[in-house]
Structure 1
Amino acid sequence: MRIELDSREKELIHKYWYVVPKNIKSQLVNKRRKTVDIEPDELKDLIGYLSLECNHCNSNSLAFELDELCEKLEYYDHYRH
């Protein structure tokens, strides 16, 4: 599936998804790319990693950003066709 992400969202994913697959990592670091192609299983893993980080970070603003990103990704996961 293809997910639209802004540069900050891509940065957060790149930083906090510790086991990001190589094919997705290259999409995240491509500054011109506005979408990421991701498999449903990979999306579930990503949501899990970001949720874990959100629950354990010390910064309220970072926790808010990660939570918002998780909600966006969960929407894609729930409504994928």
Structure 2
Amino acid sequence: MPAEKIFEIQKFIIHNPKPWLRNSLDMQVIKDAKEAIDEGKKVNLDYKILNPNRVFGTILSNEVSKIWEEKGYLKIL
């Protein structure tokens, strides 16, 4: 049974990503957890998060929300 839609949100593109974001920990996790994000498979990953990674999870959560939107679990206005 598919998950029900809980939120309807609007999506805004504020600016292009900074080049240094390409090397962020989020990008590594997205790469390492690709099957989990795309197919819902379980994954166990271990990373050391330091002060430069203090915004960890922001890019990752955006990527997950885009996948949910494409699969119909989240409607982006």
Q: TM-score, normalised by structure 1?
A: 0.36
Larger relative helix fraction: 1
The higher-RCO structure (CA 8 Å, 6+ apart) is 2
Q: Greater CA radius of gyration, 1 or 2? A: 2
